[in-house]
Amino acid sequence: MKNKTAYKILAPAGSAAQLTMAVNNGCDAVYLGLDKFNARMKAPNFTLENIKEWIDYCHFFGVKVYIALNTSIKNDEFDDAVNLLNSVYKFNADGVILTDIALIKMAGKLPKPFDIVASTQLNIHDAYGAKFIKDCGATTVVCARESSIDEIKEIIEVGIEAECFIHGATCVCQSGQCLLSSLSGGNSGNRGLCAQPCRKLYSCDNGKTYGYLLSAKDLCGIDIIKELAEVGVSTFKIEGRNRRPEYAGLCSRIYKEQITGKTLINSRKNYRILAEMFNRAMGELSYLRGQNNDIIFVHSQNHTGVLAGRIKGGRVQCETPLNKGDGLKVFDRTGREVCGGVVLEDGDKYVSCSFSGKVQDGMTVNRTTSVKLCEKVADAVRLVPVRVSFYAHSGCFAKIKIETYDGASAEVLSDYFVEKSIKQSTSADEITKQLQKIGNISYTISDIEIDIDEIFLAKSQINALRREAFDELTKTIVNNYNSRFLNRKAASISKRDIADKSDMPNCTVICKTDEEVSEAVGKAEYLIFKPKIIDKSVLDKVNGNIYFLDLPSFSDNGYLEKLLCNYKCGIVCHNVGHIQLARKLGLPYIVGSGMNIYNDYIANEFSDSETFVYSVELTLKEIEQFKNRSGYVFVDGNLTLMKLVHCPYKVAYRSDCKNCKADRPLVYIDDMGNDFNIIRRKDGRCTFDLINGRKLSVVNKIDGSGRYLIDYDQNVLSHYTKLNGGINDGYVEVKKYTKGRLFDKVN
């Protein structure tokens, strides 16, 4: 393996308690959010008023601090985001985690050292996306969770640091492409307020499948962390800013021991320990092996713990010793959760418990909270070892010097001359005893050297010198760390001017079949072809035509480059990897909805594009605030709420690739009766769109001209074409529809 000092365990710090437990248990870095623009707005988080204090606290232990400013930012919020970036920069944060491409470019121009981390929300899963974001100024890529080890290796070969999630919850939707929460309830995951509708119960239209069909398993990388280190991953990220503080502490300790080789416990035992803290059928995701199997855990959407025993005679027959206060969950023979429970006594054979429901003999009991494990994590203390030298001779100033083993030191002189003893001298043992009374501070004294003659010092004098010296040493350690940031005080960034830009009202259409293409030719400004399968036969059709080929958002870009290099066509780009591909091949491109264009500053980064699509999370009023009015508003058609990299057909039909069922319709239905259609898209790999059962339609709300994007429908296209000509034909949508967020803004 490479130099181990290059690796860092990056822990979640959703609160002060979580931060301190992560630090005390050995993490190398923490990531946290403030009260704006972070993707975990439901966590307690931090503020501009207290963040400097916590940054200094971490820096005392040599722990890096990364501030998450990783949400989508609207035009009227951009000034606040820039100011916040400036503030955390000046407060000596080690880096920022960003999603907004314009903000990444701004941050990339700040004097280093300052790490610019491209968020997983950017869906960077290969060398194409890595090259693009490196050129924007990013120093690190948070690899999309769906990336394989081979793709991660390609990212690293671009010459950028790779950060990978190693433990915790995973989104079922492809990174940065989920609209299910925002479109269904207005709480946007891209804005840090995901309501997690994916964790609900769903049924399938095959009449056989029911469960948590969109609830992804947790990741546990205990068996793969060293393999990832071998390919060059430098940062291992633990998900979980909304979880209990002990979770961050335990994961930090175990993964730190695992990567450094200091653990004496085998990985399976470590797995069980981690599972006691939180377990959603966690394991190594098959994405890392280039597969999409076994991603979903249909039986439960929450913490299931580990086996503790079984019900017998109303008590728990123990499989493992239990302690008073341990939390339990009880499951029936089918695996359905029955109730919770709390252990009332210590025991290793039978224990009495208080249950929240009715239990029966034979039911399985899992422990979900271990009192002893939580206490062990909470009791961990991170200490800085020091040497202390104490000098006191009569007629001279007393002196205390404290040194760390990495070179920091503090020296304090008394403001009085030491008195010669008259009756009883102060002994070296007495001085040592007072020096060791360091109390609840973050030091441990490993060596004390005393140099005295026949003198007298009061205990209060010794204690005062000790306190002053340790205070000075703490300041020195923090100042030494922060000295690398001295040039930040003069640093500033400013927004670039955004020029007004507008185009004539017209329509652009998305066609999914050859027949739709034939009907739409000549009737729209741009014609987008969105086939289910992209192969040579499709490229033969679009070659030299005015079509723009819509690419799957988690595409196999290597496969696409080999296809597209011999053809002339435009492409619709849904991530930064697509943009890089278009520019590399010199292809005209449209910035698609997957790029989530939220503000003028992002749109400005793609001035070489043909046009762009405004984020479907924006209202019409918010779109009207853009200076750049040359984009398109999606007003009619299928709303893709999720883009899936795992195979739902394998979940629904318990099948495999040899018995592929993807040629048949598949519908998921939630507990409210809403249906969601699943469509496969394929290039070099299979991905899937989860589409809202109700189409988007606002024909009854829009009565003027505009730049409209629609899924092809002859009547709808005719209606919007007439609107742009000043005629309202009174067209009414007869199908069930939704207005999306065009009139109701997301939070």
Q: Do 550 and 661 fall within a single domain?
A: yes
Compute the average pLDDT of residues 105-127. Answer: 96
With a cut of 60, say whether residue 3 has pLDDT above it. no
pLDDT at 2: 40
| Separation between Cα atoms, residue 269 and residue 438, nearest integer Å | 37
The alpha carbon of 396 is separated from its chain's Cα centroid by a whole number of angstroms, namely 59
Which two three-digit tokens encode residue 681?
């898209």
Q: Count up the domains in the chain and report the number.
A: 4
Sign of CA dihedral 164, 167, 173, 179: negative
What amino acid is encoded at 324 in this protein?
A: K
Do 558 and 434 share a domain, yes or no?
A: no
253 within 8 A of 25, measured Cβ to Cβ: yes
pLDDT at position 690 over 80: yes
Residue 602 has pLDDT above 80, yes or no: yes
- Can you give the pLDDT at residue 398? 96
Indicate whether 275 and 404 sit together in one domain. Answer: no
Structural tokens at position 210: 């029911």
Alpha-carbon span 617 to 596, nearest angstrom: 8
Is the model's pLDDT at 634 over the cut of 50? yes
For the chain, percent of residues with pLDDT exceeding 90: 90
Q: Would residue 744 count as lying in a domain?
A: no
Residue 660 reports pLDDT greater than 60: yes
pLDDT digits (tens, 9 = 90+) for 233-247: 999 999 999 999 999
Tell me, yes or no, whether 709 and 564 share the same domain: yes
3-state helix, strand, coil in the chain (%, to 5): 30, 25, 45
Whether the pLDDT of residue 506 is over 90: the answer is: yes
Which residues have a Cβ under 8 Å from the Cβ of 94 and sit 6 or more positions away?
Answer: 29, 64, 65, 66, 113, 114, 115
Domain boundary among 227, 250, 283: 283
Averaged pLDDT for residues 541-570: 90
Residue 544 has pLDDT above 90, yes or no: no
Last residue of a domain, one of 351, 379, 407: 379
What type of residue is 637? G
d(CA 361, CA 310): 7
The answer to whether position 26 is within a domain reads yes
Report the pLDDT value the prediction gives residue 559, as an integer from 0 to 100: 95
pLDDT on residue 107: 96
Say yes or no: 270 and 224 in one domain: yes
- Look at residue 728 and tell me whether its pLDDT is greater than 60: yes
Residue 6 has pLDDT above 90, yes or no: no
Q: Do 117 and 25 have their domain in common?
A: yes
Q: State the pLDDT at residue 492.
A: 77
- Within-domain flag for 234: yes
pLDDT tens figures, 138-148: 999 999 999 99
509-526: pLDDT as tens digits:
999 999 999 999 999 999
682 shares a domain with 561: yes
pLDDT of residue 547: 86
Q: Is the domain of 375 the same as that of 414?
A: no
Q: Residue 619 domain-assigned?
A: yes
Confidence band, pLDDT 50/70/90 cuts, at residue 680: very high
Query: Which whole number is the average pLDDT over 410-430?
Result: 94
Residue 203 lies in a domain: no
Q: Is residue 175 part of a domain?
A: no
Region 532-550: mean pLDDT is 88
- The CATH number covering residue 371 comes to 2.40.10
User: Given the structure tokens 């199997």, which residue do they identify?
Assistant: 293
- Do 111 and 58 lie in one domain? The reply is yes
In a domain, 335, yes or no: yes
Together in a domain, 108 and 226: yes
Residues 262 and 341 in one domain: no
pTM (2 d.p.): 0.95
Predicted pLDDT of residue 721: 96
Q: Is the pLDDT of residue 261 over 90?
A: no
Q: Is the confidence at residue 736, as pLDDT, over 80?
A: yes
Pair 372, 392 in one domain: no
* Domain end position, chosen among 433, 464, 487: 487
Q: What contacts 400, CB < 8 A, 6 or more positions away?
A: 388, 389, 390, 391, 411, 412, 435, 465, 466, 469
Q: Which two tokens stand for residue 435?
A: 């020096």
Distance CA 330, CA 316 (A): 10
3-state secondary structure of 444: strand
Q: Which of 280, 279, 310 has its CA nearest to residue 215?
A: 280
Confidence band of 546 (pLDDT split at 50, 70, 90): confident
Digit-coded pLDDT (tens) for 292-307: 889 999 988 999 999 9
Residue 505 lies inside a defined structural domain of this protein: yes
Domain that holds residue 542: 501-738
Domain at 154, CATH number = 3.20.20.70
Measured CA to CA, the distance from residue 437 to residue 666 in angstroms comes to 69
Strands 419-420 and 506-511: unpaired
Average pLDDT (465-488) is 95
Q: Left if phi > 0, otherwise alpha if psi is -120 to 50, otherwise beta: which for 617? A: alpha
Q: Average of pLDDT values for 111-124?
A: 96
Least confident of 15-29, 228-242, 514-528, 539-553: 539-553
Confidence check: pLDDT of 75 > 60: yes
